[in-house]
Structure 1
């Protein structure tokens, strides 16, 4: 697995959390607007990540498992703490 794939996964996860936080805590958005913002945020972030050639290096399975576990745990904590 490449580091770029790991970063793209993190972008996907935290984009959903950010948009959900804005939708619940700050401004109640229409579902269409929410989805459009989510797609734009994910697409823009992934395009930025593709510009970094240093992210093409491989990542070990242990590092990949660790980062994915931390992302999943942090998502559950954020949803629990902010009651999203």
Structure 2
């Protein structure tokens, strides 16, 4: 697995958390606006990630598993702590 794939997964996960936090705590948005904002944020962040050539290097299975596990645990903790 490449580093770029890990970063894209992190972008996907934390974009959802950020948009959900804004929707619940800051401003109650319409579902269409929320989805459009989420798509724009994910697309923009992934386009930025593609510009870094150092992210094309491979990552070991252990590192990939560790990063994915930490991302999933942090998502659950954020949703639990902020009651999203």
TM-score range, shorter chain: over 0.9
Q: Deviation per CA, 1:43-65, whole angstroms, max 9, x where unpaired?
A: 00000000000000000000000
Q: What's the secondary structure of 2:29's corresponding residue?
A: coil
**Structure 1 unmatched ranges of 5 or more:** none
1:52 aligns with 52
Matched, 1:18 2:14: no
Structure 1: which 4+ aligned runs deviate by more than 6 Å?
Answer: none
| Alignment coverage as a number of residue pairs | 84
- Superposition TM-score, scaled by structure 2 size: 1.00
CA deviation after TM superposition for structure 1 residue 34, in Å = 0.1
Q: Deviation per CA, 1:11-33, whole angstroms, max 9, x where unpaired?
A: 00000000000000000000000
CA RMSD of aligned residues (A): 0.2
- Superposition TM-score, scaled by structure 1 size: 1.00
